[in-house]
Structure 1
């Protein structure tokens, strides 16, 4: 028992160190890109400023554009646990809450998140990377939905719910990117999921 507990703690610490280094590289990449423009910044410059090797940079990110994305899903272990165990709300509602909590935690605990809105608006080169993150997130969400509902991984039901959630998230991200108001990404996520819920409650129209 003690050995497995110690091993788990070591794994958690190692994961925390990897996350901290990833966040450092991402923060440096965004700051340099915002100062000089992404096209004017090289991977070698980002690596030097983050005090890592070029090889280490590519261990964490496939490109400098990818380094300008705050993080991948999942991140908040407690939010994931809540999603998997709380059966008091429908799965789609639980997904909206999960994504809201993920973003809220990123805003609270990830220094570079505050820079992402400006980066998202100013650098069209990162748009494919943002959608690549959403695609990976969809796969993760489908697996979580399957676990929550006791379904087989890759089931049609889990894949459909995950796809609908990512569609809502994509709309929220795009609205936030072009937003001139002080609305937070969390606000846009809530609005997008509310729109799905409202549409689902409308009576069918006659042909």
Structure 2
């Protein structure tokens, strides 16, 4: 039995996405956790350009055994279609952490990067762990984007948790839920969807 509460989470290929919040620096730890907890699960990593300021792509590539993808059309090889591959390959996408900027673009349906284009067309379950700056959780615009994503089929939005802000040094609401707990939320959503499919059959 693993920490998510089930022996088999039902996912075989997970795409891990890191955006430019400081907590993306912990993503290598979570990749290692996934590898130890679900050794049969294949993993790939996408980093936004801002995320690469805080975490090493080389370290993540070594941990997951695959080249890390940078979320930038300019990084794609000539003739490549990274958005199609990123949409079709995973059966689970975990965005951890998800910045306020990323959440807004995703909620609005923008497709100006390979990852965002993939997320708008994938059939994979998408789990999102928001990481918000101090006070952002009170913004009606931010809450509107979060509500939009919560209402979107196939998307699981994790609650934020209290965390010490690197800028203020104070405990603030807006930290990203641990990836292990985001995984648990996605496993639960997957199980409920399978149960509903069985009832409709």
TM value normalised by structure 2: 0.28
TM value normalised by structure 1: 0.27
Q: Which structure has the larger Rg?
A: 1
Q: Which has more helix, going by share of residues? A: 1
Q: Which has more strand, going by share of residues? A: 2
